[in-house]
Structure 1
């Protein structure tokens, strides 16, 4: 039996779980450290694999791609939701899909790191200092400003608490947010329009779905205004990329700190790489030692449980609409 561990960009997956123990069950493990670029290379590289462990949405498994993998029996994804896996197609093909819990703190901490880096131009000043320049920019303070949290779930609540610790006024909106839930988090619930109109900083933390895709578009960015800042550590398609690039190049907003993109890995020459007033990181929100221990350790548990015939943390497709 063959097992593929995908998108191990840092070549560290073998260090976070005892994969060698699977040899006793006749499982041969292969680590892939480079991303597949298209359907053809994915199908060729994964042909004959019985088990695949996917890291978040790094490699998508839609209906067409799954159909090219007739030997696949178990697909494990880090996280308990993965929009890039067609669960219904997997079910129809007889593929078991399992998930893994994640760290509740990794993404919120990176969110705040990105915001501070943008507010004080830390990457630019670091580079300038190394090149011999001293004090090139003037930053802005967060205390006294308004933080708008788009999506007040587990991550959004932590980001809201960080904002409060920094002396910010925190407001929030999401489609299903109630006044009671906002009050429990110590924030004010506002409308979507008010969130962008009244915030100095908007941080995006809603789950990607067809309903939420493009939830931040031209209207929202124009409301945020020329001094407003957008932070996105959730999913790239939540923000309309065309509108965001125009907003940055034409000065509708004051800046953007991004960890996620429509296309990942972000290709060389991508237009966001040259957009002004940005701080960009390569989807590092979950890339910590603690997260990797949970992800790869959980993936190992999922594989062992499936081999025993008692799969755990099953992910299934939502019932079809009647």
Structure 2
């Protein structure tokens, strides 16, 4: 009797994967891991013997040195259409097929605005006061007539801009390749990098992490911002120099940072960002919605079924 396929579903923090897709249809042994691995050595030990791994975005890294130690691995499925944490060249060399799933930017767009509104209206302080038996504790900031700056005006940045325009905000943007014509297509004014940081009342980051964008927001950029400005990052943590951000918040160089992404994830329990009253922090939940998770896991099951049938789909290259 053939040995059933062994599937590992990783980093299912909410323990919902098995409820959102038809895993029994695969006729396989499926093991769900709900906590992150401490390091790559623990990941290798835990994943030894699995034929298929389903990775949730970039929560667990698969560099060459990890893939080389997973001798039974034949299929690696990543939720989403790309995953910078997977060494695709190493996977090809080792004969590991890598597939992706569908994706929607809508949850990240919505969370971006949840963070902007929460930061502008001091919701962390106001809700904490209510829980403690208190009442109003501060003045919120209105958005109408303010300037929304977009660092990146792609699919997510342009959608965030449209919502800002609905609030009556002026929208400006900059990125290395942005032209005035492209910005105008979205009702946005293209500006220089210096004008973006100096002129934004709210500055929201929407860039892909790359060598060009890593560390793009450093001490100089933060120092150029208004002392009342709100900095929002739902993109990738390393786009901001984290030490410079901590210092800027401590020195009140900017009004508040609303951050969903970090250099190290999960964010260490003793990280200084956790102690700063002007840091509004969420645990990388931009894409964590029931609707998108359903897409992720249903597509992952379909990927595995197609691979088992000898016709893999949604291949990552």
Note whether the superposition's TM-score is higher than 0.5.
yes
CA contact (8 A) 1:146 1:199 kept: yes
| Cα deviation code 1:165-192 (max 9, x no counterpart) | 1110000111222222211111011111
Q: Give the match for residue 319 of structure 1.
A: none
Report the Cα distance in structure 1 between the residues aligned to 2:102 and 2:193, rounded to whole angstroms. 30
TM-score (norm 1): 0.95
Q: What is the aligned counterpart of 2:10 among 6, 9, 22?
A: 6
- Consecutive unaligned residues of structure 2, counting only runs of 5 or more, are none
Q: Give the match for residue 112 of structure 1.
A: 113
Could you tell me how far 1:88 is from its partner in structure 2?
1.1
Report the Cα distance in structure 2 between the residues aligned to 1:253 and 1:112, rounded to whole angstroms. 19
CA contact (8 A) 1:78 1:299 kept: yes
**Aligned with 2:258: secondary structure?**
strand
Across the two proteins, how many residue pairs are aligned to each other?
313
Q: Give the match for residue 40 of structure 2.
A: 39
Could you tell me how far 1:120 is from its partner in structure 2?
0.9
Report the Cα distance in structure 1 between the residues aligned to 2:282 and 2:166, rounded to whole angstroms. 24
Report the Cα distance in structure 2 between the residues aligned to 1:20 and 1:122, rounded to whole angstroms. 43
Q: Give the match for residue 254 of structure 1.
A: 255
Q: Give the match for residue 277 of structure 2.
A: 276
Report the Cα distance in structure 2 between the residues aligned to 1:72 and 1:209, rounded to whole angstroms. 28
Q: Give the match for residue 100 of structure 2.
A: 99
Report the Cα distance in structure 2 between the residues aligned to 1:210 and 1:92, rounded to whole angstroms. 24
TM-score (norm 2): 0.97
Report the Cα distance in structure 1 between the residues aligned to 2:232 and 2:275, rounded to whole angstroms. 17
**Residues 1:189 and 2:190 aligned together:** yes
Query: Cα RMSD over matched residues?
Result: 1.0
Report the Cα distance in structure 1 between the residues aligned to 2:297 and 2:7, rounded to whole angstroms. 13
- Consecutive unaligned residues of structure 1, counting only runs of 5 or more, are 317-322
Could you tell me how far 1:155 is from its partner in structure 2?
0.8
Could you tell me how far 1:257 is from its partner in structure 2?
0.3
Between 132-141 and 108-117, report the one with greater CA deviation.
132-141
Q: Give the match for residue 55 of structure 1.
A: 56
Report the Cα distance in structure 2 between the residues aligned to 1:101 and 1:206, rounded to whole angstroms. 20
Report the Cα distance in structure 2 between the residues aligned to 1:81 and 1:180, rounded to whole angstroms. 29
Report the Cα distance in structure 2 between the residues aligned to 1:88 and 1:192, rounded to whole angstroms. 35
CA contact (8 A) 1:147 1:170 kept: yes
Moved over 6 A (4+): none
